[in-house]
Chains A and B, each alone.
Chain A
Amino acid sequence: MPAFLAAYDFLLVSMVLAAVLALSLYLPLMAGQLSLASPGFYALGGYIAAIISTKVFPPAAGLYPVPLVLLEMAVAAVASGVLGVIVGVPALRLRGIFLALATIAFVEILRVISLNLDVTGGAIGIFGVPQPFASQIHYMSLAIPLLVLCMLFAARLERSRTGRALVALREDELAADAMGVNPTRYKVLAFTVGAMIAGVVGALSAHFINTWNSRQGTFDTGVSLMAFVLIGGSRTFVGPVVGGLVLTALPEALRGIADVGGLPGWLAQFLRDGRLIIFGVMIALGTVFFPHGLITPALLERLGRGRRHRVEAA
């Protein structure tokens, strides 16, 4: 186990962070809003943490205090929330593909700004972000509670009045409006909460990957997040979480297969070099065979029923 953790500590934490980030994209999608703005807030959160930890509290000897990391996460949440409202109110007047385009533009604007500011380190970015933990696996002590909190929040939300309002908006905005659901209010709410989650993940990630630059949280990240949600399943919060965990692990797992002894050399090399090809094929097959994603509410219900049967039998 220690050897496994030593080799895969970074990957395990990235999987958890990806799952949380996927939830940030899932929330606006609950209201039927295809927003790709999450990477922008993720980038913002990362810059906030990187700037606070390298410039405001310059690194001293030893480990960086964990309470300061929590403070950075809080600042990132507030900043992303405020920006979320400012961007959300005008942007969410757009629908469908136009909203997606507007949010892509938003991410691009943030990227170009960070590329041109001195405080963000220009093209090179900010490096030497101090470490709060002696080992990467200890990041779990922040990442796991964050994931659990976000999942609990999403689970409660799906069952609450607000959650139903969001689903009503997704299914038919006109009808929902006629029933007294205020579309703008609920859409901006879902968008802003998603933005805050993304900002918090960004703040933690800046420490986690030691550096932050304009290549983090770009349109590419948005596409990956969308894959997490669509492959995982977009009708229940479990979907994005599973999607984030599995799809982050998959390319590295293929690298792992290559290291299993006894494989012919060419196959091992193909698994290493061609792992993204296999990854792409699996995503394509996934969308063909699981059009609603791996995890659907129906599947969860069946699993739940199975469990109840077992409990009754016992």
Chain B
Amino acid sequence: MSRRLASPVTIVSLIAVLCGALVGHAADPIPIGVSVAQTGPVALAGQEQVLGAQIAEEYFNKRGGVNGRPFKLIFQDAGSDEATAINAYQNQINVAKVVAIIGPSLSQQMFAAGPFAVRAKLPVLGISTTAKGIPQVGEFVSRVSAPVAIVAPNAIKAAMDINKNIKRVVVLYAQNDAFSKSETETFQQAVKDLHLELVTVQTFQTTDTDFTAQVTNTLNAKPDLVIISGLQVDGANLVKQLRELAYKGLIVGGNGLNTTNIIPICKALCDGILVAQAYSPEYKSKINDDFKGIYKDRQKKDPPQFSAQAFTGVQVFVEALGALDKKSPIAKMDLAALRVELNKQLIAGTYDTPLGEISFKASPGGEIVQKQSYVAQIKMDPGGTSGKWVYVK
């Protein structure tokens, strides 16, 4: 190809491609969109979400789908940024013509893409969007991920159950991490609401390795409880150095420490860290046992929270579709009416999910009401090389 031709050809093929995208599907199964982060920095969480959603697709289709009619998940990568999330949404809404969408992964992405769903009048469900204000985006935006403001204080309450004499609290957080910064505000508010004394707030960077200054200040404040919002490596190193300098009290970790990946770092000193959870594999119910069983078969480990929430997202839509179908057959509805009715049905229903029993608030419409809440604590083996989460609540 001559250089002269190269760019006109590129442009023509591009136009051809964009036009080709017009050809829609007319598939028989009910299409439900899943747009989570399959690429970018959030893809680790996104992968777990894809796994959870796929398990749900198989599981519920085997049990008859929506009153005998199968459903199909349409995956469109929402990336880790706002623009890609919007593009994925537009594709789901207008090209794949789905009845509802699950995702995107980040709260910030939902703030960008959510208004598009509101405008298109189609129900969307956040499965890992925990920031304040998500259901307030609009009528069609709901979530099954309990907001950080509800989940985080549970760990402090659990600590107060373990040690009834907690009074003085030190809070530490990673100043340069967006999630840690918003999480610590919730923790600090919860400390005040529980009438504890916030003695000092210390900051660090996720890139720090030496925490001597913060640990010294913390120990000088003589705390009964230390609360850490950071990421895995810095958070675990901070725990290690606190313990090495003889801090004996309880430690509550934020969601960044909610992983067994911290064990190789703080080893035996990890013992006793408390972290609040929106999901527990230990939760006893038929649906959770089934879900856990399938997940364990494939991944050889207990399902993480993100997978459970994604499974729940699919389940909620499938059950809402089923309930709606019984009231008025959905095959007879046009797509626009089906989307609106599905949203009404979604918010009206109660669902028995792996997360426990959940329902939605009518105001702000779509905020999750989750009955169960969980707190887990790390129990290290005597050797100090392996350990696991034990659910204390």
Do B108 and A128 have beta carbons less than 8 Å apart? no
Name B1-21 residues within 8 Å CB distance of A: 3-4, 6-7, 10-11, 14, 17-21
Question: How many angstroms from the CA of A254 to the CA of B84 in the assembled complex?
Answer: 13
Do A123 and B178 have beta carbons less than 8 Å apart? yes
Query: Which of B131-139, B260-268, B381-389 interfaces with chain A?
Result: B131-139
Do A115 and B176 have beta carbons less than 8 Å apart? yes
A209: interface (CB < 8 Å): yes
B169: interface (CB < 8 Å): no
Do B90 and A7 have beta carbons less than 8 Å apart? yes
Residues of A within 8 A of B3 (CB): 290, 299
A158: interface (CB < 8 Å): no
Do B10 and A215 have beta carbons less than 8 Å apart? no
Known contacts A122-B182, A215-B81, A249-B14: does B19 contact A127 (CB below 8 Å)?
no
Known contacts A123-B179, A128-B137, A272-B76: does B108 contact A211 (CB below 8 Å)?
yes
Residues of A within 8 A of B84 (CB): 251
Of B87, B88, B133, most buried by chain A (CB within 10 Å of CB) is B87
Residues of A within 8 A of B131 (CB): 124
Q: Among the listed A210, A214, A294, A302, which residue makes an inter-chain contact with B178, where contact means beta carbons less than 8 Å apart?
A: A214
> In chain A, what residue has the closest Cβ to B115?
A210
Q: Among the listed B22, B75, B81, B107, which residue makes an inter-chain contact with A272, where contact means beta carbons less than 8 Å apart?
A: B75
B45: interface (CB < 8 Å): no
Do B7 and A14 have beta carbons less than 8 Å apart? no
**A135-155 to B contact mask, C-beta < 8 Å, 1/0:** 000000000000000000000
Do B108 and A125 have beta carbons less than 8 Å apart? yes
A173: interface (CB < 8 Å): no
Residues of B within 8 A of A3 (CB): 22, 24, 94
Residues of A within 8 A of B76 (CB): 255, 272
Name A95-151 residues within 8 Å CB distance of B: 112, 115-116, 122-125, 127-128, 131
Q: Among the listed A8, A127, A209, A275, which residue makes an inter-chain contact with B83, where contact means beta carbons less than 8 Å apart?
A: A209
Do A216 and B82 have beta carbons less than 8 Å apart? yes
> In chain A, what residue has the closest Cβ to B175?
A116
Do A252 and B87 have beta carbons less than 8 Å apart? yes
Known contacts A128-B137, A272-B76: does B94 contact A257 (CB below 8 Å)?
no
Residues of A within 8 A of B90 (CB): 6-11
Residues of B within 8 A of A246 (CB): 10-11, 14
* Size class of the A contact interface (CB-based, 8 Å): 35 or more
Q: Among the listed A4, A127, A255, which residue makes an inter-chain contact with B91, where contact means beta carbons less than 8 Å apart?
A: A255
Residues of B within 8 A of A257 (CB): 17, 20-21
Do A14 and B82 have beta carbons less than 8 Å apart? no
Question: How many angstroms from the CA of A248 to the CA of B193 in the assembled complex?
Answer: 47
Do A276 and B39 have beta carbons less than 8 Å apart? yes
Distance in Å: Cβ of A255 to nearest Cβ of chain B: 6
**B18-33 to A contact mask, C-beta < 8 Å, 1/0:** 1111111100000000
Residues of A within 8 A of B132 (CB): 124
Do B111 and A211 have beta carbons less than 8 Å apart? yes
> In chain A, what residue has the closest Cβ to B134?
A127
> In chain A, what residue has the closest Cβ to B4?
A302
Distance in Å: Cβ of A4 to nearest Cβ of chain B: 6
Do B7 and A295 have beta carbons less than 8 Å apart? yes
Distance in Å: Cβ of B4 to nearest Cβ of chain A: 7
Question: How many angstroms from the CA of A215 to the CA of B82 in the assembled complex?
Answer: 9
Do A4 and B7 have beta carbons less than 8 Å apart? no
Q: Among the listed A14, A215, A249, which residue makes an inter-chain contact with B108, where contact means beta carbons less than 8 Å apart?
A: A215
A177: interface (CB < 8 Å): no
Do A256 and B21 have beta carbons less than 8 Å apart? yes
Question: How many angstroms from the CA of A130 to the CA of B156 in the assembled complex?
Answer: 38
Do A259 and B23 have beta carbons less than 8 Å apart? yes
A213: interface (CB < 8 Å): yes
Question: How many angstroms from the CA of A123 to the CA of B39 in the assembled complex?
Answer: 21
> In chain B, what residue has the closest Cβ to A249?
B14
Q: Among the listed B7, B22, B114, B185, which residue makes an inter-chain contact with A242, where contact means beta carbons less than 8 Å apart?
A: B7
Name A1-27 residues within 8 Å CB distance of B: 3-4, 6-11, 14
B181: interface (CB < 8 Å): yes
Q: Among the listed B39, B96, B176, which residue makes an inter-chain contact with A259, where contact means beta carbons less than 8 Å apart?
A: B96
Name A248-277 residues within 8 Å CB distance of B: 249-257, 259-261, 269, 272-273, 275-276
Question: How many angstroms from the CA of A72 to the CA of B235 in the assembled complex?
Answer: 41
Question: How many angstroms from the CA of A164 to the CA of B10 in the assembled complex?
Answer: 32
> In chain B, what residue has the closest Cβ to A260?
B20
**B132-156 to A contact mask, C-beta < 8 Å, 1/0:** 1100110000000000000000000
Residues of A within 8 A of B11 (CB): 246
B271: interface (CB < 8 Å): no
Question: How many angstroms from the CA of A8 to the CA of B94 in the assembled complex?
Answer: 9
Residues of A within 8 A of B38 (CB): 273
Distance in Å: Cβ of B173 to nearest Cβ of chain A: 11
User: 19 A-B contacts, Cβ less than 8 Å apart?
Assistant: A4-B18, A4-B21, A7-B93, A7-B95, A8-B18, A10-B83, A11-B90, A122-B182, A123-B179, A123-B182, A131-B115, A210-B111, A210-B112, A213-B111, A252-B91, A254-B17, A255-B77, A256-B20, A294-B6
